[in-house]
Amino acid sequence: QVLLVESGGGSVQAGGSLRLSCAASVYTHSDYCMAWFRQAPGKERERVARISTGSGLTYYADSVRGRFTISRDSAKNTVYLQMNSLKPEDTAMYYCAAVSTTTCANLIQPYHFNSWGQGTQVTVSS
């Protein structure tokens, strides 16, 4: 397991942007799948985006594709989620997650990940 610390959440009006950061304490020689999930009140935790730290391949939920971008800075062991054109339905607690693996391709459920951050709140008002 790794220690994950998220930051960058906040309140924004619809159409605005936010960038979330996830700082990870990981062994730099290992490959990880790093992901962002979100959970709104009364709803299940859902995947948003994920990235393989080794290959750089990215995957997005249909609801955010074209608006959100996940990226990594290997030197800083940090993963980012750039969120543009935010909508009220994007309001949720956003969580960073990680698991040691060489591919993110089939890792779509929360139980696939064994390390989680504490979460950062994103609120989008109309």
**What pLDDT does 28 receive?**
58
In degrees and rounded to multiples of 5, residue 90 shows phi and psi of -85, -5
pLDDT single digits (tens) 13-48? 999 999 999 999 865 567 899 999 999 999 999 999
**What pLDDT does 25 receive?**
87
Average confidence (pLDDT) over 61-68: 98
Task: Please give the DSSP secondary-structure letter assigned to residue 27.
Answer: -
Q: Are 19 and 8 in contact (CB under 8 A)?
A: yes
